Structure 1
Amino acid sequence: MRFAYLTLSLVIFIAIFDMIAAQSCHHLEDQKEIDECYMKIALDFAKIHNPQFPFGALIVDHTKNEISCFGANSNKKNKLLHGETAAFWNCTELYPSPTNDDMANPGLDWSKQTLFTTGEPCPMCASQSIYRGVARVVWGTSITDIYKSGRQQLDIRMENVVASAKIGAGLKDDNVPELVGGVLKDECDEAFWCAFSVWRTPEYHDAMEKNNDLAYIQDRDQRFHCETPSD
């Protein structure tokens, strides 16, 4: 597979990892199994690349059942490079417009692409998905679960961003991606819950108690066994 913005050693490691993992998805025909297979790859990639912020993304050509490119949250370099943003940039670099006109003649047929992402896209990434023209967006954990885990998030669901898409004269834009949420939700929830433990401050607990959400914390603490330095 191809990558951008990665160190050489990581490129080599992930290329080997991708080759093995992607092949394991090729024999699948059931859509649910395919979605879970690629979500597992996205999550594993996120844990390797940036385990403190496990936002991982894949762009997959669903007509070939083949990964087009990867992306992961790169907040160490640029906090705006969310996993989905990084994936879009990587694909655009890897498949540039042959006529230097990415709007009219992109180098990749985006209508054949599915975006897989471990976390529901924020409004920024949701908008990019619409503008980029992917056919499907598949995510693991939800925006609600991300902020309830302790991290900042804009409480605007992707379905609402999609519903706001308009074309000329305010007409509804029907050329928007199909949305599929909750794929490998427990695995993704656990990754975010464990990664964001440092952000669950006393102020966080006070706010959750005020919102009658202490049961949410108890449920995740019971179900998710996060590693600690002493483990």
Structure 2
Amino acid sequence: MTAAQTCHHVDDQVDIDECYMKIALDYALLHNSGFPFGALIVDHTKNDISCYGANSNTQNKLLHEQSGQLRCTQLYPSPTNDDMTNPGLDWSKQTLYTTGEPCPMCASQSIYRGVSRVVWGSSISDINKSGRQQLAINIEEVVASAKLGAGIEDNRVPELLGGVHKDECDHAFWCAFSVFRTKEYHDAMIMNNDTEYIQDRNARFPCVSFPVRQQV
């Protein structure tokens, strides 16, 4: 189904993050190469995948990384039917790997769910410059806004790491979103002095070779 089902063959954290990002990207390209948002939820204490997720857009276009989180709640239901206080999965031991930086909706869900790490490939800015609609609020801003009652700082927010296999993820989004790069898009990029961005992407990310998959 993917280039690799596990990353048990690596033990360095950098290598582990890169390995799981490759799996997330392959999963996204397999299930919906036109919107290559792929996600894995990994128990980092066991180095095991808890569940996969990709938005096929067939039922609900809002299911970005949430598709993986919803799948986990189905696979690991609360043993007491109390997902609020007794979830079936220990989310504090989970890392979310996603090909694209979580939008505010998905970032918020990761905070509420209690995911302890979020790792992504492409940034919101790059996804937007590839031609796709985005909310220009990065995940750091969303995490910084998290408060407990009475405005107390929430220290249970996830650790964040972006830019893992960024080029591979950027390549996937650049080619997938070519259909959205209309005349209006090009006019706006010219106005924003971003023509060099387009030239760079076209030179480095030829869509004739899309998708690019690397074996792990």
TM-score for the superposition, normalised by structure 1: 0.89
One-letter identity of the residue aligned with 1:39: M
Whether 1:214 aligns to 2:198 is no
1:171 to 147, 152, 164: 152
Q: Which residue of 1 aligns with 2:212?
A: none
Q: Which residue of 1 aligns with 2:10?
A: 28
After TM superposition, the runs of 4+ consecutive aligned structure 1 residues lying more than 2 A away are none
User: Could you tell me how far 1:74 is from its partner in structure 2?
Assistant: 2.5
Q: Which residue of 1 aligns with 2:61?
A: 79
User: Could you tell me how far 1:76 is from its partner in structure 2?
Assistant: 2.2
- Give the Cα–Cα distance (whole angstroms) in 1 for the partners of residues 57 and 137 of structure 2: 21
Q: Which residue of 2 aligns with 1:96?
A: 77
Find the residue that maps to 2:5 and give its secondary structure.
helix
- Give the Cα–Cα distance (whole angstroms) in 2 for the partners of residues 217 and 76 of structure 1: 30
Greater RCO structure (CA 8 Å; 6+ sep): 2
1:154 to 135, 138, 149: 135
- Give 1 or 2: higher helix fraction: 1
Q: Which residue of 1 aligns with 2:213?
A: none
Question: Does the 8 A contact of 1:22 with 1:66 survive in 2?
Answer: no
User: Could you tell me how far 1:27 is from its partner in structure 2?
Assistant: 2.0
**Structure 2, unaligned stretches of length 5 or more?**
210-216
Percent identity over the alignment? 74
Aligned residues: 210
- Give the Cα–Cα distance (whole angstroms) in 1 for the partners of residues 19 and 12 of structure 2: 11
One-letter identity of the residue aligned with 1:168: G
**Structure 1, unaligned stretches of length 5 or more?**
1-13
User: Could you tell me how far 1:168 is from its partner in structure 2?
Assistant: 1.0
Q: Which residue of 2 aligns with 1:38?
A: 20
Question: Does the 8 A contact of 1:68 with 1:91 survive in 2?
Answer: yes
TM-score for the superposition, normalised by structure 2: 0.95
Alignment RMSD: 1.3
- Give the Cα–Cα distance (whole angstroms) in 1 for the partners of residues 128 and 67 of structure 2: 21
